[in-house]
């Protein structure tokens, strides 16, 4: 049995997303040490890409990034009300 073209392209995009996410994660970890790269930004971008395909990363995203995002919006709204 052969896969359909949409099945192959879906699989290709999934593998591409995982490869890009891992590359960004490695660059982000290097950026934590190197002064040239923005390490935290690259790690958050990697988590955003990998959370669709890897359930463990989705749980990390929900546990750490979503609460920080909510705190940021609360802080921003409080600053605007002043």
User: How confident is residue 76, by pLDDT bands cut at 50, 70 and 90?
Assistant: confident
Q: What is the pLDDT of residue 29?
A: 95
Q: Summarize pLDDT for 7-58 with one digit per residue, the tens.
A: 888 899 999 999 999 999 999 999 999 988 899 999 999 999 999 999 999 9
What DSSP state is assigned to residue 23?
H
Nearest to 60 by CA among 70, 71, 50: 50
Regarding pTM above 0.85, the answer is no
Q: What is the pLDDT of residue 3?
A: 62
| Terminal Cα distance for the chain, rounded | 65
At 25, list the tokens: 């994660």
pLDDT(1) > 70: no
């Amino acid at each position: 049995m052969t896969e359909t073209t949409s099945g192959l392209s879906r699989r290709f995009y999934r593998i591409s997303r995982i490869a890009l996410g891992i590359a960004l994660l490695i660059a982000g970890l290097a950026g934590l040490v190197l002064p040239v790269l923005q390490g935290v930004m690259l790690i958050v971008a990697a988590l955003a890409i990998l959370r669709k395909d890897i359930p463990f990363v989705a749980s990390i995203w929900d546990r750490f990034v979503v609460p920080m995002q909510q705190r940021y919006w609360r802080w921003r709204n409080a600053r605007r009300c002043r």
